[in-house]
């Protein structure tokens, strides 16, 4: 199924806590669906904020997309198998960069905690996706925080995909030689 470019979303701008208090959501620049001021409101966790800020600091980044967690034609879904059941994961971000020749390229960047039991199955699903559709992306990066440092698995690299395919421990995978510092 083709991924459809969205042309509008209804996006909350205020978060209401359980106690009834409200806070204005932070706004970020360069989202594909930004408001008239060029900003997009979103409530991210710390890892997502760190990844977004690093990617936005890259000089070639021209836009980004918060991949919706819901099933829809504007959401990139990647299948994976977990305990015999086929499921769908939705990578968090798609970034767009402009190369020196003016070409726009897409990068998938997915920060994902290592504490989840589905971490390896999801990575294996991303491996299969890269092997079948990786030519559409410049980068496909899985990011995790190890201690105080963010590490990245570059799924465009064969040695990384091979390591993921045989992995039994997500912590060992992100601590191994196939993981690089995410900079």
Show pLDDT as tens, one digit a residue, over the chain (183 residues).
Answer: 577 777 767 788 898 989 999 999 999 999 999 888 999 999 999 999 999 999 999 999 999 999 998 888 889 999 999 999 999 999 999 999 999 999 999 999 999 888 888 999 999 999 999 999 999 999 999 999 999 999 999 999 999 999 999 999 999 999 999 999 999
pTM of the model: 0.91
* Tokens encoding 147: 């201690």
Q: Determine phi and psi for 83, rounding to 5 degrees.
A: 50, 45
Of the candidates 19, 70, 69, the one whose C-alpha atom is nearest the C-alpha of residue 45 is 69
């Amino acid at each position: 199924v083709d991924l459809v470019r969205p042309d509008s979303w209804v996006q909350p701008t205020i978060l209401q806590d359980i106690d009834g208090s409200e806070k204005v959501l932070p706004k970020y620049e360069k989202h594909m669906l930004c408001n008239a001021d060029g900003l997009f409101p979103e409530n991210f966790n710390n890892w997502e904020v760190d990844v977004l800020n690093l990617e936005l600091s890259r000089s070639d980044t021209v836009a980004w997309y918060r991949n919706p967690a819901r099933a829809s034609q504007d959401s990139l879904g990647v299948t994976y198998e977990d305990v015999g059941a086929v499921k769908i994961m939705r990578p968090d971000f798609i970034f767009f960069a402009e190369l020196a020749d003016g070409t726009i390229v897409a990068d998938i960047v997915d920060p994902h905690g290592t504490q989840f039991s589905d971490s390896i199955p999801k990575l294996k699903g991303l491996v299969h996706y890269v092997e079948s559709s990786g030519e559409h992306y410049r980068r496909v990066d899985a990011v995790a925080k190890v201690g105080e440092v963010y590490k990245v698995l570059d799924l465009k690299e064969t040695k990384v995909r091979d390591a993921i395919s045989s992995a039994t421990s997500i912590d060992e995978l992100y601590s191994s030689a196939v993981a690089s510092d995410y900079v």
